[in-house]
Structure formats: C-alpha cells, structure tokens
Amino acid sequence: MKTKILLAALALVAAPSLALAEGCSFGHTKSETASMSCAEGSVYSSEAQGCVPTTS
C-alpha cells in the first residue's frame, strides 16, 4: 500500500516538470515561432528566413 501511495505522489510531483519540458514553442511551426519574436514593424519572411520590415 505504501508503495502505491509513494508512486502516485512521485507521479504528481513529476508531472509539471514533464509538461514544462515541451517548451513554449510546442505545437507551433518554425515561422510562427520566429514571427512571435520579430520586432514591431516587421514580419517573418520564409523566403528571407528572418524578419523583414513591413511596407504600408
């Protein structure tokens, strides 16, 4: 009985760490991740493989 409780407690303690291991870019494509980090007034260009200024 004590072993089951110990294993359950260990699983509950480890779960948040495993969830954070995915990182903030999990589920996003490379261009979506890069566009999130472009400076204001610029967008990500897959052709240029980087941020380029927007033209209005």
pLDDT digits (tens, 9 = 90+) for 1-56: 799 999 999 888 887 776 665 555 555 666 555 546 788 888 888 788 888 888 76
CA neighbor of 35 nearest in space, from 27, 45, 26: 45
Residue 44 phi/psi, 5-degree rounding, is -80, 135
In the chain, at which residue ranges do the beta strands (DSSP E only) sit?
42-45, 50-53
Count of C-beta atoms within a 10 Å radius of residue 13: 9
Instruction: Provide the whole-model pTM.
Output: 0.35
26 HSE (CA, 13 A, CB side): 7
